[in-house]
Amino acid sequence: MSAAAGDRITFELPLLSAFEWRTPILRKPLDALEDVVDIDKLKEVASRLAVNKTVIFTLATSEYRNTTRLWLRAMQALSLENYIVISGDEETSFWLKQIKVQHIKANLSYGDTTHTNSVGFSEKALAICALKFPVCRLLLRSGLNVIFSDIDAIWLRNPINILMSSSSDLAFQRAAFFPQNISRLWGFTACTGFFFIRHSSGALQFMEYCVNKHMKVHDDQFAFNLGLLAGSVRWRNLPNAPFDSEELVKETFKNLAGQFIRGRLERCRIETCALPHHQFWRHPWAATRSDHVVVCHPNSGKSDQEKIQTFVSLIPHARVVQAVTGCPSIHPGGTRAR
């Protein structure tokens, strides 16, 4: 079956109002990245660290110190050094400098760090997530392939060979439910916690779509999926849509968990794929063997403690997880599936 953007997806506009930026200053990285980070330094560091013209970046703030420590330990265990941490505050920059981790400080603007929106994100979280697509676009413009990894997407094995041999210009972890209307259309959605994009003019065009959509909506995952629609994505190996219930979405998701879902962005003229879920793991209800997991990015609570507890419960025997189990007692909290 071929699933495309259709008639510009009639559900897009009604949903936009619910995700509009309430505080425009938070989207400053989208408006003018050069006002937020030293882009010359970022380009120089990325070019110097890149391996086979590929660079990895992540975003970190002081609220996720233990999760950041876990992510860094995982990269160290894999002997990976071609990554940059974008720091969202002075405390994180100071700590990263102390432990000699290559990083770039972002000068973000935000207000209350304790108030959260309906899905648990603070203004600070929204502000740092607004860096994701502009930084990726800058690195693509520098001629690099880019891997983005959320700080809670823990690399248990090196995924680079899988990404490079996938024949896709754009590859991403899949999720099940958010945005819901896209989930009902495809039976899955794109998760922006882990994605790979290969340098090309089409890749830059897609990232422009993502930046433009993110300027309209405050949720980067929503914006990325809208970017796929704007690129006129067509999937090649999906069963018939629509997937008009959560149960049907789950059933289809599980059935396809071990496969690449391949497609093409017609407007960008690039190949894309949703990576196999059993290797790029998001939802514990779609069970997999622990020795199959390459990147573990489970749906979890928003706090540092909740994230660490999720990893302790899901992959307790992973060495990188054992290294941080000396953290204070952690109590799991509720999560929203995305």
pLDDT digits over 145-154, tens only? 999 999 999 9
Those residues with Cβ within 8 angstroms of residue 181's Cβ, 6 or more apart along the chain or in another chain: 9, 11, 15
Higher pLDDT, 312 or 268: 268
One-letter identity of residue 113 = T
The confidence score (pLDDT) of residue 287 equals 81
What pTM did the predictor assign? 0.89
> Which pLDDT band, with edges at 50, 70 and 90, does 239 fall under?
confident
The confidence score (pLDDT) of residue 4 equals 44
What number is the average pLDDT over the span 213-240?
92
Q: Does the pLDDT of residue 96 top 80, yes or no?
A: yes
Q: Which structure tokens are listed for 317?
A: 């025997």
C-alpha 293/C-alpha 250 separation (Å) is 19
Q: What is the pLDDT of residues 59-84, one digit of tens each?
A: 999 999 999 999 999 999 999 999 99
Q: Does the pLDDT of residue 101 top 90, yes or no?
A: yes
Q: Does the pLDDT of residue 311 top 90, yes or no?
A: no
**Dihedral angle sign, alpha carbons of residues 115, 212, 272, 256:** positive
Q: Does the pLDDT of residue 328 top 70, yes or no?
A: no
Q: What is the DSSP string of 7-30?
A: TT-TTHHHHHGGG--SSGGGGHHH
> Which pLDDT band, with edges at 50, 70 and 90, does 303 fall under?
confident
**What's the N-to-C CA distance of the chain in angstroms?**
24
Query: What's the length of the chain?
Result: 338
Phi, psi angle pair for 130, to nearest 5°: -70, -10
C-alpha 240/C-alpha 78 separation (Å) is 40
Q: Which structure tokens are listed for 91?
A: 């405390």
Which of 135-149, 251-265, 321-335 is predicted with the least confidence, judged by mean pLDDT?
Answer: 321-335
CA 138 to chain centre: 17
Could you count the other beta carbons within 10 Å of the beta carbon of residue 56?
24
Could you count the other beta carbons within 10 Å of the beta carbon of residue 43?
16
The confidence score (pLDDT) of residue 320 equals 72
Q: What is the pLDDT of residues 251-268, one digit of tens each?
A: 999 999 999 999 999 999
Higher pLDDT, 312 or 168: 168
